[in-house]
Chain A
């Protein structure tokens, strides 16, 4: 799961507890600069901004995250009832809001909905490569917008390859990474599944999975072309 950025630093204890109980990974940051310096490699997946104690700093924080390139995914702002008017003319700065003191279950439900819908911690993860698209949440794969009907192991193999495009894997590596130890049929099983995947993807897309002679397989183009 990706990481949420939370303002302010430290996060109020009731907010920290709610996020922890809901299973989010998060880090509290005191300013937009701090958030940028400490950004994880995969980027912040969303932001939770507490604006009831220092509204000016909170809105500045939100604005900075919004103006970045790329902009922060989804942002929820927590305000007191007295601040409702502040929302006017700030629509571009937040995706949802919640009144403080918040009810933990309400906040959790809002977070869940927000990050499901708009990206972020619990959003359906997609793996896209050329015409191929995998929805990791629903386990569905499609090629050129046509659904692919795959067996579980075919899906797992394709997912692993598509998540690591351009890398060459030996059969043994694929076997241990994709099948784990609970497999049947040994290393040749990998060839069998590759052959099936290619057939299901159709001739025009079969070369998405390339055979690297006497080594193994690679998904997509290698760094140096082929």
Chain B
């Protein structure tokens, strides 16, 4: 590690009176993990990494080889803005290595690094800007339906005050953590909110999504509110997605932009999109990794169902926002199926891999889907060659299993572990008898 960066971290810890440094990393399922060390241990950690027992973490390692090394990425060091001034805390993201110093193949951050490196070999830098949706609810009680914040009665203050204050404070905290917010607003559903982040290189953005999820929850919890990124917490209203705006840059140039094209889309952009469409079904288990994710991907709620693209039609999987005239930098594509319950490192990895595959193999982009696909019959859709996204986690896993692209992108070990873990989730779900079934069948049958 760069000596200057290390000095910067050590001096900042000293000058700002940091008492605790939190080492952050992410498990395979996208859960943020943390362990805290004292400033006295930090210099050592920056130099050699911190050994910890990886077997305690899902998907990390088998028992017989349980020790791994968390190596702080000093560029991500930040003083946490919510600590008190006298005993400040800081965080730093870690890369996980094996004890011999090689990248640990169960670490999602290393997986993304590897995929970004592949893009760099083509001269591309991958930029992502997510629109993150979530609900504010009352602290959940097991077995009860979520209680929304916008419904009167739960809070003494008028609900608008509560949620807009929460959002304001969340944005302030995000900006203090180097996460630039593009916009934020109340979403369509009651108690649903959206925060849009400005585009950043994909590794930083994956870190930012992890930080955002924590901050949104922390800020809410401080007011006795629960924030949830569950994809579909309520039947009959919109679910929460994480639309991803993506672009590739070649140096200062946006590689997706072509002034001469009717759509202002370059050949690179079209092939990238074609790659996403061809491999969409294979990567869906990663971008939508829970049983619940598939209850969002249904017709009628602005969530995509069909594997198609369009400029201004929000029913497709890929939308090409029309940038303001001359704004070549903001030319991008919006991939609309992912939800914020995904592991951002892995989701960005498979999306990038699918897009790059399209570029490498020169895939042809199919025609734009003009009409509202939700209003078309299956026969009409089939005639247009438009497939559907997987209908359930089980479907998605089946397609993923035979995908050589996803196995390459994730690495064999993480790929295998992900499939095993998610199959178990599906099995658990399958044995559950739901309220739907009881209501529908108990008396009638």
Are A and B interaction partners?
yes
Q: Is A182 an interface residue (CB 8 A)?
A: yes
**B84 contacts A by Cβ under 8 Å:** no
In the complex, A195→B204 CA distance in Å? 14
Q: Are A195 and B180 in contact, CB atoms less than 8 angstroms apart?
A: yes
Chain A residue at smallest Cβ distance from B5: A152
The B-contacting residues of A in range 191-219, CB under 8 angstroms, are: 192, 195-196, 199-200
B77 contacts A by Cβ under 8 Å = yes
8 Å CB interface, A131-175 against B: 138-140, 147, 149, 151-155, 171-172
Smallest CB separation, B399 vs chain A (Å)? 32
Contact of A151 among B4, B78, B116, B125 (CB under 8 A): B78
| Chain A positions within 8 Å of B252 at CB level | 171-172, 186-188
- Is B258 on the interface with A (CB-CB < 8 A)? no
Q: For residue B30, which residues in chain A have a CB less than 8 angstroms away from its CB?
A: none
Instruction: List A contacts of B227 (CB < 8 A).
Output: none
| Surface stretch bound by A, among B7-15, B101-109, B420-428 | B7-15
Q: Which residue from A149, A152, A185 sits with its C-beta under 8 Å from B176?
A: A149
Tell me if A184 is interfacial: C-beta within 8 Å of chain B. Answer: yes
Residues of B within 8 A of A83 (CB): none
Q: Report the bound CA distance from A192 to B14 in whole Å.
A: 28
Q: Please name the residue on chain B nearest to A182 by beta carbon.
A: B2
Give the distance to chain A from B288, nearest Cβ to Cβ, in Å: 27
Nearest B residue to A202 via CB reads B175
**CB of B337, distance to nearest CB on chain A (Å):** 25
Closest residue of chain B to A135 (Cβ to Cβ) is B15
- B79 within 8 Å of A (CB atoms): yes
B251 contacts A187, CB within 8 Å?
Answer: yes
Considering the complex, give the chain A residue whose CB is closest to the CB of B202: A185
- Report B-chain residues with C-beta under 8 Å of the C-beta of A172: 251-252
Most buried by B among A140, A149, A172, A200: A149
Asked whether any CB of chain A lies closer than 8 Å to the CB of B56, the reply is no
Q: How many whole Å from A33's CB to the nearest CB in chain B?
A: 41
The reply to whether the CB of B165 lies closer than 8 angstroms to some CB of chain A is no
- State how many angstroms separate the Cβ of A214 from the closest Cβ of chain B: 10
Within the complex, what minimum Cβ distance (angstroms) separates A37 from chain B?
Answer: 37
Give per-residue flags for B245-277: 1 if the beta carbon is below 8 A from chain A beta carbons, else 0: 000011110000000000000000000000000
Chain A hits for B14, CB < 8 A: 138
Contact A184 B249 (CB under 8 A): no
Please report which residues of chain B, range 298-319, place their CB below 8 angstroms from some CB of chain A when the two chains form the complex.
none
Please determine whether B200 and A140 come into contact, CB atoms closer than 8 angstroms: no
Is residue A189 contacting chain B, with contact meaning CB distance below 8 A?
yes
Does any Cβ of A come within 8 Å of B203's Cβ?
yes
Let me know if A192 and B204 touch, CB within 8 A. yes
Contacts A149-B78, A192-B200 given; does A138 touch B178 at CB 8 Å: no
Cross-chain contact A199 with B75 (CB below 8 angstroms): no
Q: State in angstroms the CA–CA spacing of A172 and B253 once bound together.
A: 11
Q: Given the complex of chains A and B, what is the CA–CA distance between A185 and B199 in angstroms?
A: 11
CB atoms of B8 and A188 under 8 A apart: no
* Cβ-defined partner of B201 (8 Å) among A149, A171, A184: A184
Residues on the B chain within 8 Å of A187, using CB: 249, 251-252
Question: How far apart sit A140 and B7, CA to CA, in the bound complex (Å)?
Answer: 12
| Set of chain A residues within 8 Å of B77, measured between Cβ atoms | 151-152
Residue-by-residue, is B230-255 near A (CB-CB < 8 Å gives 1, otherwise 0)?
Answer: 00000000000000000001111000
The answer for the CA separation of A139 and B249 in the assembled complex, in Å, is: 32
Please name all residues of chain B whose beta carbon is closer than 8 Å to the beta carbon of A199 when the two chains form the complex: 175, 180
From B15, B74, B204, B251, give the contact of A152 (CB < 8 A). Answer: B74
Is B147 part of the binding interface, using a Cβ–Cβ cutoff of 8 Å? no
Which one of B15, B74, B125, B329 contacts A138 once the chains associate, using CB atoms below 8 Å?
B15
Residues in A neighbouring B329, C-beta threshold 8 A: 188
Closest chain B residue, CB of each to CB of A155:
B8
Task: Say yes or no: A185-B204 contact (C-beta < 8 A), given A152-B74, A154-B178, A195-B180.
Answer: yes
Is B76 an interface position by the 8 A CB rule? yes
* Residues from 51 to 104 in B contacting A, C-beta threshold 8 Å: 74-79, 81
CB nearest to B182 among chain A residues: A195
Bound complex: CA A138 to CA B14 (Å): 9
Which of B2, B12, B176, B329 has its CB near the most chain A CB atoms (within 10 A)?
A: B12
Among B12, B178, B251, residue most surrounded by chain A Cβ atoms (within 10 Å):
B178
Chain A residues with CB below 8 A from B76, complex form = 151
Q: Which of A138, A153, A185 has the most CB of B within 10 A?
A: A185
Q: A190 to nearest B CB, angstroms?
A: 9
Inter-subunit contact B180/A192 (CB<8 Å): yes
Measured between beta carbons, the chain A residues less than 8 angstroms from B250 are 186
Output the residue of A153, A186, A187, A195 with the most chain B CB within 10 A: A186
- Alpha-carbon distance between A200 and B174 when the two chains are bound, in angstroms: 10
Q: Are A149 and B16 in contact (CB under 8 A)?
A: yes
A154 contacts across to B, CB distance below 8 A: 178
Interface assignment of B335: CB less than 8 Å from any CB of chain A: no
What residues of chain B lie closer than 8 Å to A140, measured between beta carbons? 11-12, 15-16
Which of A138, A139, A149 interacts with B81 by CB under 8 Å?
Answer: A149
The distance from the CB of A107 to the nearest CB of chain B, in whole angstroms, is 27
Q: How many angstroms from the CA of A10 to the CA of B435 in the assembled complex?
A: 96
- Point out the residues of chain B lying under 8 angstroms from A152, CB to CB: 4-5, 8-9, 74-75, 77
Please encode chain B, from 190 to 202, with 1 for each CB lying within 8 Å of some chain A CB and 0 for all others. 0000000011110
Q: Can you offer 24 A-B residue contacts whose CB atoms are under 8 A?
A: A138-B11, A139-B7, A139-B15, A151-B75, A151-B77, A152-B8, A155-B8, A171-B252, A172-B251, A172-B252, A184-B201, A185-B203, A186-B249, A186-B250, A186-B251, A187-B251, A188-B125, A188-B201, A188-B249, A192-B180, A192-B204, A195-B180, A196-B175, A200-B175
Closest 4 CB pairs of A and B: A185-B201, A186-B125, A187-B252, A199-B175
Beyond A151-B78, A185-B201: 10 further Cβ-contacts under 8 Å? Answer: A138-B11, A149-B16, A151-B77, A151-B178, A184-B203, A184-B204, A185-B200, A189-B201, A192-B204, A195-B198
